[in-house]
Structure 1
Amino acid sequence: MWGVFSNFIACEIGFWIVIILGLFTRYVLKKNKLGLFFLALTPVIDLILLIITGVDLYRGATATTAHAIAAVYIGVSIVFGKSMIKWADERFRYYVTKEGPKPIKLYGIEYSKHYLKRWGKHVFSYLIGAGILAGVILLINDSSRTEALLRVLQIWTLALGIDLVISVSYFNWPRKKDD
């Protein structure tokens, strides 16, 4: 388990390193194309994680929570990756280089709509990650080896439902502006 878990951690660290390196290269060194190259490496990291996890399971490993988290990570990264990079880009420009506008903080109905759209993205990332998990469960076809995958899928399904309740609640109790 620690092998896959450490690979997952290494990929997550790598993800943020290439983002920071991309932003630093783009804004501090003023090398836009090289910065975009580093930012474009984020999907490569996802692919590496998918290959490492797949090879481990193919070699007969019993699926662990770390294997399942790799599928969740891939779904989330595919769907939210661009917006996470945009979020980091805006903050880097404003807080580090002092060149960009202050990031906008949403309140009221605008925040409620934004959060509901993010829930829609959560659904899409869930469909990707759950599809990977279901595919691996069917491919391995041994419930004793895939029990952890099913557990994570169940927990993620519950989290998706809770996220929907939170999303809808913002329409009844909108986020208020901090004074």
Structure 2
Amino acid sequence: MIVTLVIVCEVGFWVLLAAGLTLRYAAGKRRLGAAVLLLEPLLEVVLLAATAVDLRNGAEPDWKHGLAALYLGYTVAYGHYTVRWIDGHVAHRFAGAPPPPKPPRYGTPRAVHEGKLWLRTLLGAAVAVGLLQLAIVYVGDRGGTGSLRAWQFTALRVAGIHGVIALTYALRPKKAPASATSASVGPGPREDR
């Protein structure tokens, strides 16, 4: 049941996103579209409640509950970011808005961007680990919690791997190609002799 609900929540996220953006840009109903977009967190509340009820009713804690916690952590950390990114692209394509800014490609700005993304991943992992710990306490001695502890380790491992990747951008920033830097600098002031 939990896996089905995770899938339903993911599909529901994209359906609500499409409906909200369609209302905002195709139908011209910006407030109604925004209201539909604000319904998206309710999907996560439903998933959280269903997982708690499943555990309360005596379900053996397993990978499905861990997957639900990771999904919830991801949506807390990246849900709004994803909606804002897609909204910017749809507004540009269908409403004449300026193109959304692209992430920086080189140097310190790219390292800062990657660091911010890692902080989102860290937030998602913290939420997942916290929810899993609550589930472990909730289940207590009546059920095996080894699977939930394994999912905690998975969340921390993902955050750690992403942290190492983000750190590489800070330690060895990618340099802009010479043609890009010379074209952006342009010719210097002309000296008349």
What TM-score comes out, normalization by structure 1 length? Answer: 0.90
The letter for the 1-side match of 2:40 is T
> How far apart are 1:68 and its partner, in Å?
1.0
Match of 2:72 among 71, 74, 85: 74
SS at match of 2:144: helix
8 Å Cα contact 2:25-2:95 kept in structure 1: no
Q: What's 1:140 paired with?
A: 139
Q: What's 2:148 paired with?
A: 149
Q: What's 1:15 paired with?
A: 13
Relative to structure 1, is the Cα distance of residues 176 and 92 closer, same or farther in structure 2, using a 3 angstrom cutoff? farther
> How far apart are 1:25 and its partner, in Å?
0.5
Relative to structure 1, is the Cα distance of residues 175 and 85 closer, same or farther in structure 2, using a 3 angstrom cutoff? farther
Corresponding position: 1:90 with 2:88: yes
Partners of 1:62 and 1:72 in 2: how far apart? 18
> How far apart are 1:45 and its partner, in Å?
0.5
Structure 1: unaligned runs, 5 residues or longer: none
Partners of 2:176 and 2:100 in 1: how far apart? 15
The letter for the 1-side match of 2:17 is I
Q: What's 2:35 paired with?
A: 37
8 Å Cα contact 1:137-1:143 kept in structure 2: no
Match of 1:100 among 97, 100, 122: 97
> How far apart are 1:114 and its partner, in Å?
1.1
Partners of 1:27 and 1:117 in 2: how far apart? 29
Deviation track 1:47-68 (CA, whole Å, cap 9, x = no partner) reads 0101111111111111221211
Relative to structure 1, is the Cα distance of residues 173 and 94 closer, same or farther in structure 2, using a 3 angstrom cutoff? farther
Name whichever of 53-62 and 118-127 sits farther off.
118-127
The letter for the 1-side match of 2:162 is D
Partners of 2:174 and 2:84 in 1: how far apart? 22
Q: What's 2:45 paired with?
A: 47
Q: What's 1:24 paired with?
A: 22
Deviation track 1:103-150 (CA, whole Å, cap 9, x = no partner) reads 322211212101101211222222221111011112212485322211
> How far apart are 1:27 and its partner, in Å?
0.8
8 Å Cα contact 2:73-2:128 kept in structure 1: yes
Partners of 2:172 and 2:90 in 1: how far apart? 31
Partners of 1:24 and 1:139 in 2: how far apart? 41
Name whichever of 100-109 and 78-87 sits farther off.
100-109
Relative to structure 1, is the Cα distance of residues 65 and 177 closer, same or farther in structure 2, using a 3 angstrom cutoff? farther
8 Å Cα contact 1:116-1:167 kept in structure 2: yes
8 Å Cα contact 2:128-2:155 kept in structure 1: no
Q: What's 2:2 paired with?
A: 4
Structure with higher Rg: it is: 2
The aligned length equals: 176
